[in-house]
Amino acid sequence: MVELGKTCHLPVVKHVEFGVYLNADAFGQVLLPRKYVPEQCEIGDEIEVFIYLDSEDTPIATTRKPLAQVGEFAYLKTVATGRYGAFLDWGLDKDLLLPFSEQRQQAEEGRSYLVYVHVNRADERIVASAKIDKFIDKTPANYRNGEQVNIIVAGKSDLGQKVIVNQQHWGVIHQSDLFRNVRYGQALTAFIKQVRADGKLDIVLQKHDREALDAQSQQILKRLNQAAGFLPFSDKTSPEVIYAELGMSKKAFKKAIGGLYKAGKIEISDEGIRTAE
């Protein structure tokens, strides 16, 4: 099914001087401009395209990938403002309108905003909304503890950082689990720490299961080998340095070196850790 604001695969039905026409079902024949037509394109070939509206509100195709499709959240930069609202760069020739009615605060040129991309049913145009809460799925989330998810950082809360999980649900990274700085609008890979009884989601940036611990232990041993058997990291080392150097939280680091010490593979001192003799 071909949907406005979504990527799809469409067959070529006609060549013209300025491009090719694709069969887009209910949208009829949609133009793919010449600059996007693949070389040696033939009638009947299927091309992956994104369908949106041109400056005359006519459906048009492009092979460029937008920064967000209809039904997705994204952190987009304002490139201009006008009489109808702000215009956001979403990676296509025509910018995305953020109407005044969908702004939480007046958008300013050069600033970025977390928005939801949707079709305005009043005029069937693709627009953005900064009022993101109304687009979040409020039904109980169906996730497993430890499951990998994609998140977008959506602001601070009393508990830590609010995040949008898999483009659908609210989640939170508790302050105690924040071992590195994250930025508003940043897209990250994360994990479900737990699905609480009320259906809300606790998120962590690193898994803490046996598989993750083994991988972190091997990472430390590898770095020790590369550093002639000594690393200047200890309980006094800041979490930021641990993450920058080893790519893990300080909590994970302490657990990993504790296991390596018990296994007799490393020695621990105030100065750091070294390979056991």
As given in the structure block, the two tokens for residue 226 are: 């590369």
Count of domains forming the chain: 4
**227 and 267, same domain (yes or no):** yes
In a domain, 120, yes or no: yes
Final residue before a domain boundary, out of 102, 134, 166:
134
Examine the domain organization and report whether 190 and 173 are in the same domain: yes
Highest-confidence range of 95-104, 141-150, 245-254, by mean pLDDT?
A: 95-104
**Three-state SS at 118:** strand
pLDDT for 98 beyond 90: yes
Q: What is the CATH number of the domain that holds 237?
A: 1.10.10.10
The per-residue pLDDT of the chain, averaged, comes to: 90
* Secondary structure of residue 13 in the 3-state scheme: strand
What are the strands of the beta sheet with 266-268, ordered from one edge? 230-231, 273-275, 266-268
pLDDT reported for residue 208: 65
pLDDT tens readout for residues 44-69: 999 999 999 988 889 999 999 999 99
Do 127 and 83 sit in the same domain of this protein? Answer: yes
In the predicted model, what is the mean pLDDT of residues 7-12? 96
The CATH code of the domain that includes 156 is 2.40.50.140
Assigned domain for 67 exists: no
> Same structural domain for residues 196 and 214?
no
- From CA 156, how far away is CA 87, in angstroms rounded? 26
Q: How far apart are CA 95 and CA 183, in angstroms?
A: 24
pLDDT for position 176: 81
Helix axes 239-246, 210-226, angle to 10 degrees: 80
Q: Is the pLDDT of residue 221 over 80?
A: yes
Kindly state whether residues 161 and 216 are assigned to the same domain: no
Distance CA 115, CA 133 (A): 10
Phi, psi of 85 (to 5 degrees): 150, -155
140 located within any domain: no
Cβ neighbour number for residue 176 with a 10 Å cutoff = 10
The values of phi and psi at residue 263, to 5°, are -80, 0
The pLDDT of residue 123 = 87
- 3-state SS class at 120: strand
**Are the C-beta atoms of 133 and 164 separated by less than 8 Å?**
no
Q: Is residue 68 part of a domain?
A: no
pLDDT higher than 80, residue 213: no
Other beta carbons less than 10 A from residue 231's beta carbon: 21
Q: Is residue 31 part of a domain?
A: yes
Confidence (pTM):
0.79
At which residue do the structure tokens 């606790």 appear? Answer: 202
Looking at 86, 106, 134, which one is the last position of a domain?
Answer: 134
Q: Is residue 257 part of a domain?
A: yes
Residue 142 pLDDT exceeds 80: yes
Asked whether residue 35 is assigned to any structural domain, the reply reads yes
Rounded Cα–Cα distance for residues 141 and 138 (Å): 8
Tokens of 25: 């079902």
Q: 7 falls in which pLDDT band (50, 70, 90)?
A: very high
CB atoms within 10 A of CB 160: 17
Token readout for 119 is 């079709």
Q: What are the phi and psi torsion angles at 199 (to 5°)?
A: 90, -5
Residue at a domain's end among 104, 134, 164: 134
Whether 123 and 154 map to the same domain: the answer is no
Q: How far is CA 105 from the centre of its chain?
A: 23
Q: For 239-275, write each residue's pLDDT tens digit.
A: 888 888 887 778 888 888 888 888 888 888 888 888 8
Instruction: Judge whether 199 lies within some domain.
Output: yes
Instruction: Print the domain residue range for 110.
Output: 73-134
User: pLDDT tens-digit profile of 193-205?
Assistant: 899 888 789 999 8
